Structure 1
Amino acid sequence: MLGIQVNGEFLELNPGTQLELYQDNPFLQLGDELRGDVSLPFEVKCTPKNMRLLQHAGLLQKRIDTAGVEAVLFDNGVQHSTGRLKVEKPSVHLNMVDKGSISLYYVSGVSSFYQDIKDVNLRQLNMGGSRVFGWDNFSNTGAGFWGHATDVLNGRVVDDYVYFPVWNEDFAQDVQVMNKIKQVGSELRFEMYSDNLAQSVGNALVPFIKLPYLLKRIEAFCGWRFEGSILSDADFLKIVLVNFRAIEWHWMERRSGGADIIHPYFTPAFDLADHLPDISLSEWLINLKNRFGWWFDFDRRNKVIRIRRLMEVAVTTIKDFTAKASPLLVKTVKLGSTE
């Protein structure tokens, strides 16, 4: 017998209701989207109980919450999964509300997670807010902006971002190197200018965000937790996001017949969120998965995303599931009816 529980109570399902879940093999999803468990639409009547549990979605004046409602799916009294119920469309009866119906579909696992974040832009993450520094007159050992940047460059201060030089011919006019540096003795120092010959452009200081820190900010935003041995891998801890937005730490005074002059701001500031790509959070996670050959295992109950390497599948003990499932076909799970 099929049962769907919302807030500790079961929906009143129509007699004979069946739920078909479509499941895609996660190892073969190498495109621009991830698909988990999604049901075909099914209808429920607008009974007082259903209306209350579904946040009165059957009323004409009610705005549908696209986030859906938390739900637990049962089959013959045994819990099958946890996920969300999404309202596809209500059929409203203007005179008698209980004569209307609501079309729903159920999403679980990865589908549920991606429904939660589908409209979230990566730059909406809280990356620590605006980081404000005083000006220390280009002192490499000062307590202000220039001194702190030099400390990060040399590894004396461990921060959420790093600096290193990147050759980029298309960055800006007269600027071909971001984070231009020089070596003085055993120490690395920033150049004042990006173009040492003309000295018309101040050094383009661009912070590169550490990937482990970004994943922590995603955890804080979504309420999910990342797990996996990859998170403690030495190479993983070195991954950063190269971007092309320089910190606005100065302005240039253009002078005819003389050298241009750098005027630093008294309180240089920057927000790491501005240095993230302007894409959706879901698109970025999918790109990350495809770039590094990962696959995500979603635990909706505990809100855990386990990161695993696809290569681990190739070196593990082989098990033959041919008789049970073909990885090339979409699977359909038909749960018991309400009769």
Structure 2
Amino acid sequence: MAVNDRNMTIGKALMSPIWALQLLTGAKSFLDNPIIGSRRLNARGLHLVRVKLAAGLCAWRRRRLASGVRPEWREAFDRDGFVVIPDIVPPAEFPALRDALLTFKGPAREMRQGDAVTRRLAIDPAMLSAIPALRALLTRKEVVALFHYVASYRTTPLHYIQTIVSHSAGNEPDPQETLHADSFHSSLKAWLFLNPVSAEEGPFTYVRGSHRFTPARLAWEQRRSQTDPHAIDRLSARGSPRISEAERVAMNLPEPEGLTVAGNTLVLADTVGFHARGRSVRRGERVEIWSYARRNPFLPWLGGDLFSLPGLAERRVKWVWRARDRLEKHIGQPWRAVGTRTAMDD
């Protein structure tokens, strides 16, 4: 046996227990984990078992969190997979909050995907101290209860001020403009739009009801799990599947809907449903408070997230950035430091 072949065999033997343990986590890459990506095991239902178990546990956790959520918000989310809340901040107070967020300067990171650039400033202790109204909003009881319900856990999301600059440079397509699911299990994303978003400005787009694992969705999950991951696009192979128009129609799902909203509108969504960034017809900037939460989908309990504790929760973003900086050559780091910026700086 050649040295390289022997090393590969040893490497697989050492990694096999880790790959097996990842089946009990949110690991989703069909490329990076040969057990998750095994066409033989998935033909026997491995992927489908993980999907069904994650969905069942998510529904069970949400039932236990439902009582704290305003009924009209809960009903809209359960029906559509997202909820739209206009004037989440009292209208008289919103202009001052918006101005404070847009003029705050802090360490920023940027990532380019296709012709779009995304800039993020962490909502950290410095920002929360400088903008007390922001802290009040993010700790409002009814808002926190809704975050928990959509995430299906009592967990504090990661919060950012996010700017998306469309048609920044080049002609490469933005991969976020293709309808996709983020993973095989539920997770929370939320946007509080600081400015109006029109149909021409890349609105958040969602396929209503696509968060439900209907028989048609389960059949689609089963088929995709048996596809050679080396023969499809890389994002799908890594567990964030893209969906074609024909596949959407075959699942009896409605047309994607771009959510055109006024400023001061909060949108929360379960990104196991099919969604995308709408196409922008011209160069422009979309600025929002962007929130994200995704935990291991196989945990039966609601809390237990140490990093959601006050004093830790608001520091996590920068910890994540620094960890990825140090591990860049092993796991990559698409978020580049760009110095101290505001959300609107060129």
Same fold (TM over 0.5): no
- Short-chain TM bin: under 0.3
Higher share in helix: 2
TM-score (normalised: structure 1): 0.21
Larger of the two Rg values belongs to structure:
1
Higher share in strand: 1
Higher RCO (C-alpha 8 Å, min separation 6):
2
TM-score (normalised: structure 2): 0.21
